[in-house]
Amino acid sequence: MFRRDYLARPHFDWLLLFGAYALALYGVLAITIANYNPSLGVDRSMQDLVMDANNGRLQLLWVIISMIVVAMMMTVRYEMIGRMWPIIYIVDVLLLAFVLATSKINGVRGWFQFLDRTFQPSEVAKIALIITLSKALTRYPGNPVPNTRYLIYVFIHFGIPAVLIFAQPDIGTLLVFVFIFIVLLFSSGYSIKNMMIMGIIAVLLITPVILYLARTNNFRWLRLVAFINPESDPTGSSYQIINSRVTVGSGGLFGTGPWAQGTLTHLNYVPENHTDFIFTVVGETLGFRGAMILLALYAFIIYRMLLLSYHTEDPFGRLVINGVMAMLLFHVFENVGMCIGVMPITGIPLPFISYGGTNLVANMAGIGLVLNVTRYKSAHVYRDAAALQYG
């Protein structure tokens, strides 16, 4: 049936693009607040405030660069990108393998160092996984996993980059990978019963690992204990959780103000508050109101992608949109959750908001990919349907 709904037709979704860049600019503001130097005074323009905050200035530069990336993602039709999946997959695996030979930063071998800048291939790997796994799950129309042999292939396809990320070890990104995998498998129409069986098997396999971490008192186990009982080690593994909750709670309804002196944000009460814990900056300085505006923007772009997915006939395009949506949803849920103490600390950034060029560009590349699908999706379906209807 020929549908006249605007979202069902090929179009450029300006609302999604505007929503994403509203978040990116919100991020520049939050990073500027986190790096604000009260000794310089507040009687300056916003431009001067951003330029005086080193990380805020750099983040604004990455926002501008990301516009080029989005434009580049629009130059090649998504169907062609899908056909290039073997190249994308091989490059992705090679980058994740080579990064294991680098030096550790914060206990993780996850960055290539170029002078004073870094590049994190695991961020790009999320987009690569969405493209290649979406292609794998749409190879057989109407039956994403036709037999056990192909199920093993899908698991290997997912497993190789997942194992390489685990070897870094970057557990936060690994959890994002797992969530994307589950969402794409479900969206492709795979049996829920079989997914539940796989979930039980996964729990049985993970249990010995958890027991090993508990026995060796691994720092990841200590983080989990700190999440369950924050008072267990207030000056050690629970330090960030306790301080983060205090900082967010101190903002109240309207916040202390972005340029107020003596705030917990400017006293660096929560370490890394311009990266993984940027939500504490929003919560304290802009208050509950500012936090709700931020979450409303996230809700808008995620709901928008849900609508775009629903109105996309092409299975590959629909899975691509669902994959990007899953990536952003998990990041937001986990990052905000760990800042307010309802999720364990995993060290994944807040999309579009946390400082970091690779993460911002990768997220915008995901938005560009979704825009690519909405612009070029199955135009022939509507032409053929119109021809049948109007003869």
Q: For the segment 147-159, what is each residue's pLDDT rounded down to a tens digit?
A: 889 989 999 999 9
Please indicate, yes or no, if residue 187 is contained in any of the structural domains.
Answer: yes
* The two three-digit tokens of residue 215, written as one number: 């026995």
CA-CA distance, 119 to 359, in Å (whole number)? 9
pLDDT, position 391: 37
Query: Which range has the top average pLDDT, 109-118, 203-212, 306-315?
Result: 306-315
Q: For residue 31, name the pLDDT band (cuts at 50, 70, 90).
A: very high
Residue 388 has pLDDT above 70, yes or no: no
User: Is residue 1 one of the residues assigned to a domain?
Assistant: no
Report the run of H or E that residue 118 belongs to, with start and end. strand 117-119
Q: What phi and psi, each to the nearest 5 degrees, are found at residue 178?
A: -60, -45
pLDDT band at 294 (very low <50, low <70, confident <90, very high): very high
Neighbours of 116 (CB within 10 A): 5
> What is the structure's pLDDT at 263?
85
195 has pLDDT over 90: no
pLDDT band at 292 (very low <50, low <70, confident <90, very high): very high
287: number of CA atoms within 13 Å, CB side? 8
User: Above 90 in pLDDT, residue 127?
Assistant: yes
Domain encompassing residue 161: 6-390
Rounded Cα–Cα distance for residues 261 and 267 (Å): 9
Q: Is residue 90 part of a domain?
A: yes
| 282, pLDDT greater than 50 | yes
Taking residues 257-277, report their average pLDDT.
Answer: 85
The secondary structure of residue 39, as a DSSP letter, is G
- Report the number of distinct structural domains present in the chain: 1
Between residues 218 and 269, which one has the greater pLDDT? 269
Which own/partner pairs from 185-193 qualify as long-range (CB within 8 Å, at least 24 positions apart)? Answer: 185/137, 185/144, 185/154, 187/309, 187/318, 187/319, 187/322, 188/137, 188/138, 188/144, 188/145, 188/315, 188/319, 189/142, 189/144, 190/137, 190/144, 190/145
pLDDT at 288: 93
Does residue 107 form part of some domain?
yes
pLDDT-derived band at 390, boundaries 50, 70, 90: very low
Which residues does residue 108 pair with via DSSP β-bridges, in sequence order?
105
Residue 115, both tokens? 């002078």
User: 303-349 pLDDT, tens per residue?
Assistant: 999 999 999 989 999 999 999 999 999 999 999 998 888 888 787 89
Give me the pLDDT at residue 41, please: 74
Residues linked to residue 119 through DSSP beta bridges, in sequence order: 112
Q: What percent of the chain has pLDDT over 70?
A: 87
Distance CA 136, CA 139 (A): 5
What is the reported pLDDT for 237?
60
Give the mean pLDDT of the chain.
85
| pLDDT tens column, 49-68 | 888 888 889 999 999 999 99
